[in-house]
């Protein structure tokens, strides 16, 4: 695959709505329209490629190794001394006064702030005074500050223990022997939660940092909620396992009035907080249930169990236990929806997004010897736990960081009599008539497709306002057992059945 494009090709990509770092600018500019998000993704990839080309192969590696430790030192100083919080919101401040507020020498304050300015955090006036820009203002007024603390004081030390942990414990499958445990003197006996559970300030920082991380582009719950395909065949009872304060369930209830009950499960203290914060419009439909997924599932016979960014926190042996604990509660046809990353093979034009995904995988190993999983990892995990788990589909919406992984519990039903994931009625085994598929924009109310099939297209177009995509399907591929993994040659794939909205894939071999 081509590793680099010409400079004129890269220059052609640089066309994007004008952003700003000025103090009045919005510090978080999302969620974006599909057109703007597409522009952002292409531009970020082009800029990353352009910088690597300009500094050269050896220079690229050198700058990564030279700058990252220095940047970490600067960012940690900003966090440790709360420098952004000590700069007035609406007027500049001298280095002398800022140093006094931070408890630092004027020389140290000037060095660190000017290092931050080189990273586009803070501005300095012509008179040599420090003032906020949009980045420093966000750092001083939002939980981005907590994320910075977690990144520099928790993730960075653990990252430096990955090599040692991997050498000492090659299986990398025990949270008590994780890089984080080594960095925090866990002595192979305590995992992350055991280490920080008796430190309230540290736990609070973790919670706020995680809440911030869910705000980055691609992590918005709408990518999931709007693409579940529940418009015509909505579940009555939905359980969100490890659902925190219930943000995902609230969005589901607002979107799908036919949901009768949404139950959020989390640890007792979290569930108690969530119960107190239920809005009037959700009363009677939104409930909170104390639950640890290392025990048997307490809510029986729900239609759907949702897991958003839960299993990536645990190595396979623990994930297997979590899944087995659900089995006694599952009725035949019950669905488990996992909103998680599904890592793909490297692509020719996806380095920036891949850097983020692989960084997430690295942090999962650092913190808990856990991991982000590939399609094969997910399929293997479900098959190992119980063959009655059927991997129905894995769909990744355009620009979403997370996939929708849908699994059906078959119960004791014969494997040849597939349960429809929506209606729980057996799917007929009639062959697919390719001529009946038509265009991808199928009217679901008039379609009677006997079983799942795939729609593949080589091209897609975005409408002028970026509100929708149009597809030109070229073929239909029968589903085998309801599962499929993209192969080469397809830019975009969508799954369609008789009752569910279309799903989209970006193939592993997507081009520009």
Task: Please give the pLDDT value at position 7.
Answer: 63
Q: Which two tokens stand for residue 425?
A: 């009625």
Residue 180 near residue 188, CB atoms below 8 Å: no
Q: How confident is the model at residue 9 (pLDDT cuts 50, 70, 90)?
A: low
Distance (Å, rounded) from C-alpha 362 to C-alpha 370?
Answer: 9
If pLDDT is split at 50, 70 and 90, which confidence band does 26 have? low
pLDDT tens for 104-135 read 999 999 999 999 999 999 999 999 999 999 99
Residue 468 above 60 pLDDT?
no
Q: What is the mean pLDDT of residues 456-468?
A: 37
Higher pLDDT, 229 or 472: 229
Confidence of residue 25 (pLDDT cuts 50, 70, 90): low
What average pLDDT does the chain have? 81
Summarize pLDDT for 64-82 with one digit per residue, the tens.
999 999 999 999 999 999 9
285 vs 281: CA distance, rounded Å = 9
pLDDT at 327 over 80: yes
pLDDT of residue 490: 36
Confidence at 438, pLDDT banded by 50, 70, 90: very low
- pLDDT at 331 exceeding the cut of 80: yes
Q: Is 420 helix (H, G, I), strand (E, B) or coil?
A: coil
Q: Give, for 335, the enclosing helix (H) or strand (E).
A: strand 335-340
Domains within the chain, CATH numbers bracketed: 7-145 (1.10.10.10), 146-213 (no CATH), 220-352+363-420 (3.40.50.150), 427-512 (no CATH)
pTM > 0.85 = no
Question: Is the pLDDT assigned to residue 465 strictly greater than 80?
Answer: no
**371-396 pLDDT, tens per residue?**
999 999 999 999 999 999 999 999 98
Q: Measured between alpha carbons, how far is residue 188 from residues 142, 153, 181, 298, 501 in Å?
A: 35, 20, 7, 31, 47
- 488 and 508 Cβ atoms separated by less than 8 Å: yes
């Amino acid at each position: 695959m081509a590793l680099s494009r010409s400079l004129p090709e890269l220059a052609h990509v640089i066309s994007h709505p004008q952003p700003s770092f000025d103090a009045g600018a919005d510090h978080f500019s999302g969620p974006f329209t599909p057109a703007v998000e597409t522009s952002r993704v292409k531009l970020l990839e082009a800029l990353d490629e352009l910088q690597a080309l300009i500094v050269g192969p050896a220079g690229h590696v050198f700058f990564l190794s030279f700058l990252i430790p220095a940047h970490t030192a600067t960012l940690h100083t900003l966090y440790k001394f709360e420098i952004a919080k000590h700069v007035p919101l609406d007027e500049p401040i001298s280095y002398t006064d800022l140093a006094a507020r931070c408890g630092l020498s004027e020389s140290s304050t000037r060095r660190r702030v000017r290092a931050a300015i080189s990273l586009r955090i803070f501005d300095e006036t012509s008179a040599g005074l420090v003032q906020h820009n949009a980045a420093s203002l966000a750092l001083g007024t939002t939980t981005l500050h907590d994320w910075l603390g977690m990144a520099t004081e928790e993730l960075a030390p653990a990252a430096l223990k990955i090599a040692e942990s991997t050498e000492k414990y090659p299986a990398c499958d025990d949270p008590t022997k994780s890089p984080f445990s080594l960095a925090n003197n866990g002595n192979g006996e305590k995992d992350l939660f055991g280490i920080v559970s008796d430190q309230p300030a540290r736990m609070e920082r973790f919670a706020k940092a995680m809440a911030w991380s869910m705000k980055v582009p691609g992590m918005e719950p709408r990518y999931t909620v709007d693409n579940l395909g529940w418009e015509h065949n909505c579940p009555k009872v939905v359980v969100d396992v490890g659902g925190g304060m219930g943000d995902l369930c609230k969005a589901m209830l607002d979107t799908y009035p036919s949901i009768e009950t949404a139950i959020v499960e989390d640890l007792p203290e979290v569930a108690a907080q969530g119960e107190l914060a239920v809005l009037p419009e959700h009363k009677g439909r939104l409930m909170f249930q104390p639950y640890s997924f290392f025990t048997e599932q307490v809510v029986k016979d729900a239609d759907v169990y949702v897991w958003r960014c839960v299993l990536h926190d645990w190595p396979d042996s623990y994930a297997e236990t979590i899944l087995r604990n659900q089995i006694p509660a599952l009725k035949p046809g019950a669905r488990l929806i996992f909103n998680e990353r599904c890592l793909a093979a490297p692509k020719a034009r996806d380095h920036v997004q891949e850097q983020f995904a692989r960084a997430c995988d690295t942090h999962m190993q650092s913190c808990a010897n856990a991991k982000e999983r590939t399609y094969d990892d997910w399929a293997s995990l479900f098959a190992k736990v119980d063959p009655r788990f059927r991997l129905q589909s894995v769909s990744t919406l355009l620009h979403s960081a997370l996939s929708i992984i849908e699994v059906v519990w078959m119960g004791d039903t014969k494997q040849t009599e597939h349960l429809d994931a929506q209606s729980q009625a057996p799917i007929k085994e009639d062959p697919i008539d390719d001529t009946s598929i038509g265009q991808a924009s199928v009217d679901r109310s008039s379609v009677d497709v006997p079983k799942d099939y795939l729609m593949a297209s080589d091209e897609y177009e975005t409408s002028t306002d970026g509100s929708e995509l149009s597809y030109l399907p070229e073929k239909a591929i029968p589903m085998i057992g309801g599962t499929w993994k993209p192969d080469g040659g397809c830019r975009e794939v969508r799954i369609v059945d008789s009752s569910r909205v279309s799903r989209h894939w970006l193939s592993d071999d997507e081009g520009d």
